[in-house]
């Protein structure tokens, strides 16, 4: 039995099927297929047995509201329910050059405060951008 590395989220690349498969085509869509992976792309892995789907979708929504397209092009949610993934909550970003771990609940000691997660992501994709009221409490140095 071989084990897979837990240092990277699984790939989410789509695979094509043979042309003999019956697929419903929406009228007017022709041969248009979905785009390939768009960057920056985020992945949120979470423990499904822990019932963390609502929390994960909340983070997903908040990140899309703060970083609308094209800042973040996609956020994929991946539920896990195996014994070795119990308690998992990790956030990854792929800017086109491989995955970077942004947050790991087990190594960070808990779930991220939203402003901390937004700040880390901002520093990776738009370092010049302000985060509005999330940063108001910081005193400007003169």
Which two structure tokens, joined as six digits, stand for 116?
Answer: 């901390």
Structural domains of the chain, with CATH: 41-123 (3.40.30.10)
Q: Place 1 in a pLDDT band, splitting at 50, 70 and 90.
A: very low
- pLDDT (tens digit per residue) in 43-72: 999 999 999 999 999 999 999 999 999 999
Q: Which residues contact 62 (CB under 8 A, 6 or more apart)?
A: 114, 118
Range 19-41 average pLDDT: 71
Q: Which residues contact 113 (CB under 8 A, 6 or more apart)?
A: none
pLDDT at 37: 79
pLDDT at 133: 73
- pLDDT (tens digit per residue) in 65-107: 999 999 999 999 999 999 999 999 999 999 999 999 999 999 9
Range 7-12 average pLDDT: 64
């Amino acid at each position: 039995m071989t084990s897979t590395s837990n240092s990277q989220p699984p790939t989410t690349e789509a695979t094509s099927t043979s042309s003999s498969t019956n697929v419903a085509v929406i009228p007017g869509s022709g041969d248009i297929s979905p785009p390939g992976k768009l960057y920056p792309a985020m992945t949120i892995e979470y423990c499904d047995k822990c019932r963390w789907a609502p929390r994960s979708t909340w983070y997903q929504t908040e990140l899309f509201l703060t970083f609308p397209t094209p800042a973040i092009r996609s956020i994929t949610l991946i539920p896990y329910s195996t014994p070795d993934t119990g308690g998992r909550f990790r956030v990854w970003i792929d800017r086109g050059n491989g995955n970077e771990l942004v947050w790991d609940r087990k190594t960070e000691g808990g779930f991220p405060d939203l402003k901390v997660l937004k700040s880390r992501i901002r520093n990776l994709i738009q370092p010049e951008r302000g985060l509005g009221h999330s940063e108001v409490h910081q005193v400007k140095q003169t």
